[in-house]
């Protein structure tokens, strides 16, 4: 298929971007941290790529190109949605694909399964997942302390389904054209001006587009660079400059294939979620069978002494913080902080990457690992031992909602702008909900001017930030129920397992929000508890393809 004039222009400029500046010696470059959209004088424009001019052009289907930084759940699912919308994109992913499969189980429920059915992915998901039959809380002797029944599929149209994180990523990857994802790409520089954006990677390659989507997780370098620019302009809110506080630790893994004779329930069609709770300790152990006779498991812990991390955009670091190990409390040396555009600095040893192998943990959590296994013989230590050490990750977690989600042509999704604790199982769901909201707004833009892009990002933030805040609140409550100590936490646990109607009220609030891509035919609402109303694409209505 012959290249369009737009594509030829991109290719020629990308091959000779270094010489383009010499063609316009009279043009003055913008400052390093320029104010997005503030350049109204054409003589101040940076001619880094004259092929991506978008000002005052009517938007066609493929006239927006997105650079998606991050190829995790948020980035890949967004890419599939953009592909369905006809939006051009490239994914810049720092991993090579040869790393060990890390992470554990992923739960997807009614808020996103209807969307995934519309995207044509539901049948593939069913093949790699199991329906969750319920959650049982047990003690160290496998005695039942309480139980919650699984989701009634008729109530919201779908049950909750559990799968490994790697299995879901493969379902998404199978829908991504090979040429659209670039691996081994660590983005070290991001720039924008009224004409477009570009990302420069550590290997020297530069990628051009119209918008940048930061889908690079809780330690988002896209967010860090954007915040540094806003801070230099005096536009970054104080709340976003606060250091990160890590009060939670999770250790996760997926076992090798287990012997069904020893663990009969691994072959059950449905998966029972089991949680070992210790009332004397601020941690819990959860496990459940997944496909291929494997067991996904995890340890969730609330730490007594939180870790603190300052970022390059944090305000005036220098107050006393806790130093990891046996060192006393000390004062942070400002010299230890890297220059802007480098990875965040920390005064403690913080494991903030899901690809970080877990340190030795067997002795610390000995009482949990020696607990009886409620799905087979022996103790839970047995299937932990059946998990290759290289595939066990240990991560420090922060729960946080950032106030700033976008700036000019750069926008954040998923953990880059809101972070849930793993105990609530909301991380993947909220990332998908971010994606569908953002793609619907991009598709409906009539023009692709900078102002229109900012208007779409503003609507995206307004629609999603309130829901993300509620999700963080719910997962925080769940964490207190399972890891809290004392009378109040005990009452909350009793209330959870005894008052079904309040549990259903919370479920209704979340599970009746089942959005879809507004430009595709809607999937029939088969639920008794109907989904929230959704309008069809305003662009299709505007073009008289559909009626509202």
Between residues 3 and 314, which one has the greater pLDDT?
314
Give the CA radius of gyration of the chain: 24
Q: Please, what is the average pLDDT of the chain?
A: 79
Instruction: Tell me: pLDDT of 478 over 90.
Output: no
Instruction: Tell me: pLDDT of 226 over 80.
Output: yes
Tokens of residue 262, six digits: 């020893």
Residue range 123-143: mean pLDDT, rounded? 89
Which has the closest alpha carbon to 77: 548, 502, 376, 433?
A: 433
- Which residues, at least 6 apart from 374, have a Cβ–Cβ distance to it below 8 Å? 136, 138, 142, 274
Coil, helix or strand at residue 397: strand
Whole-number pLDDT of residue 18: 35
Whole-number pLDDT of residue 495: 64
Residue range 389-395: mean pLDDT, rounded? 88
pLDDT tens sequence across 282-294: 788 889 999 999 9
Residue range 199-227: mean pLDDT, rounded? 94
Whole-number pLDDT of residue 171: 97
Confidence band, pLDDT 50/70/90 cuts, at residue 207: very high
Q: How many CA within 13 A on the CB side of residue 332?
A: 23
Q: How many CA within 13 A on the CB side of residue 206?
A: 18
- Least confident segment among 44-48, 308-312, 321-325, 394-398: 321-325
Instruction: Tell me: pLDDT of 102 over 80.
Output: no
Confidence band, pLDDT 50/70/90 cuts, at residue 511: confident
Which has the closest alpha carbon to 395: 364, 366, 357, 346?
A: 357
Instruction: Tell me: pLDDT of 505 over 70.
Output: no
- Least confident segment among 5-19, 52-66, 428-442, 472-486: 5-19
- Which residues, at least 6 apart from 23, have a Cβ–Cβ distance to it below 8 Å? 47
Express as a percent the part of the chain with pLDDT over 70: 75
Between residues 1 and 208, which one has the greater pLDDT?
208
Confidence band, pLDDT 50/70/90 cuts, at residue 30: very low
Instruction: Please tell me the pTM assigned to this model.
Output: 0.82
Whole-number pLDDT of residue 55: 37
Instruction: Tell me: pLDDT of 58 over 50.
Output: no
Residue range 444-460: mean pLDDT, rounded? 92
Whole-number pLDDT of residue 361: 87
Percent of residues in the chain assigned helix, strand, coil, to nearest 5? 35, 25, 45
| Residue whose tokens read 């329906």 | 131
Residue range 23-32: mean pLDDT, rounded? 35
Q: Was domain 5-542 assigned CATH 3.50.50.60?
A: yes
Confidence band, pLDDT 50/70/90 cuts, at residue 484: low
Express as a percent the part of the chain with pLDDT over 90: 45
pLDDT tens sequence across 238-268: 999 999 988 888 899 999 999 999 999 999 9
Whole-number pLDDT of residue 480: 65
pLDDT tens sequence across 293-307: 999 999 888 887 888
Cβ contact 413:438 at 8 Å = yes
Confidence band, pLDDT 50/70/90 cuts, at residue 37: very low
Residue range 390-405: mean pLDDT, rounded? 90
- Which residues, at least 6 apart from 133, have a Cβ–Cβ distance to it below 8 Å? 150, 268, 270, 271, 272
Whole-number pLDDT of residue 487: 57
| Residue whose tokens read 């639920």 | 527
- Least confident segment among 172-181, 272-281, 363-372, 482-491: 482-491
């Amino acid at each position: 298929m012959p290249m369009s004039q737009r594509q030829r222009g991109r290719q020629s400029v990308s091959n000779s971007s270094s010489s383009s500046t010499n063609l316009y010696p009279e043009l003055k470059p913008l400052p390093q941290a320029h104010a997005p959209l503030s350049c109204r004088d054409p003589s101040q424009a940076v001619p880094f790529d004259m092929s991506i001019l978008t000002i005052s052009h009517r938007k066609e289907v493929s006239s927006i190109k997105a650079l998606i930084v991050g190829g995790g759940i948020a980035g890949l699912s967004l890419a599939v949605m953009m592909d369905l919308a006809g939006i051009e994109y490239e994914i810049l992913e720092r991993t090579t694909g040869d790393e060990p499969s890390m992470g554990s189980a992923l739960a997807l429920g009614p808020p996103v399964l209807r969307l995934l059915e519309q995207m044509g992915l539901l049948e593939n998901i069913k093949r790699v997942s199991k329906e969750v039959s319920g959650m049982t809380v047990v003690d160290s002797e496998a005695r039942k302390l309480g139980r919650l029944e699984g989701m009634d599929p008729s109530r919201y149209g779908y049950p909750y389904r559990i799968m490994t994180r790697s299995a879901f990523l493969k379902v998404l990857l199978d829908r991504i054209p090979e040429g659209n994802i670039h691996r081994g790409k660590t983005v070290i520089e991001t720039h924008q001006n009224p004409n477009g954006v570009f990302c420069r990677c550590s290997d020297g390659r530069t990628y051009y587009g119209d918008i940048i989507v930061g889908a690079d997780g809780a330690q988002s370098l896209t967010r860090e660079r954007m915040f540094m620019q806003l801070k230099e302009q005096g536009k970054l809110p104080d709340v976003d400059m606060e250091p990160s506080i890590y009060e939670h630790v999770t250790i996760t893994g997926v076992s090798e294939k287990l012997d069904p004779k020893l663990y009969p329930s691994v072959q059950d069609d449905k998966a029972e979620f089991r949680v070992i709770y210790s009332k004397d300790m601020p941690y819990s152990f959860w496990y459940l069978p997944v496909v291929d006779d494997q067991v996904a498991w995890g340890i969730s812990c609330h730490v007594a002494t939180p870790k603190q991390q300052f970022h390059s955009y944090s305000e005036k670091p220098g107050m006393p913080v806790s130093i990891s190990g046996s060192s006393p409390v000390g004062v942070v040396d400002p010299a230890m902080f890297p220059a802007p555009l480098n990875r965040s600095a920390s005064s403690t040893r913080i494991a903030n990457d899901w690809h970080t192998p877990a340190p030795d943990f067997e002795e610390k959590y000995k009482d949990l690992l020696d607990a009886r296994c409620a799905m087979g013989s022996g103790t839970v230590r047995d299937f932990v031992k059946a998990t290759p050490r290289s595939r066990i990750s240990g991560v420090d977690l922060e729960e946080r909602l950032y106030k700033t989600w976008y700036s000019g042509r750069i926008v954040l999704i998923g953990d880059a702008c809101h972070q849930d604790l793993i105990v609530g199982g909301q991380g993947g769901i909220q990332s998908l909900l971010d994606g569908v909201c953002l793609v619907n707004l991009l598709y409906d833009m009539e023009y692709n001017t900078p102002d229109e892009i900012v208007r779409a990002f503003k609507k995206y933030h307004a629609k999603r930030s309130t829901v993300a805040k509620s999700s963080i609140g719910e997962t925080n409550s769940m964490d207190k129920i399972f890891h809290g100590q004392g009378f109040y936490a005990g009452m909350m646990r009793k209330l959870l397992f005894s008052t079904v109607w309040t549990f259903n009220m919370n479920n209704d609030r979340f599970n009746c929000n089942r959005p879809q891509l507004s430009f595709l035919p809607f999937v029939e609402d088969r639920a008794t508890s109907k989904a929230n109303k959704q309008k069809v694409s305003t662009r299709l209505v505007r073009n008289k393809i559909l009626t509202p």
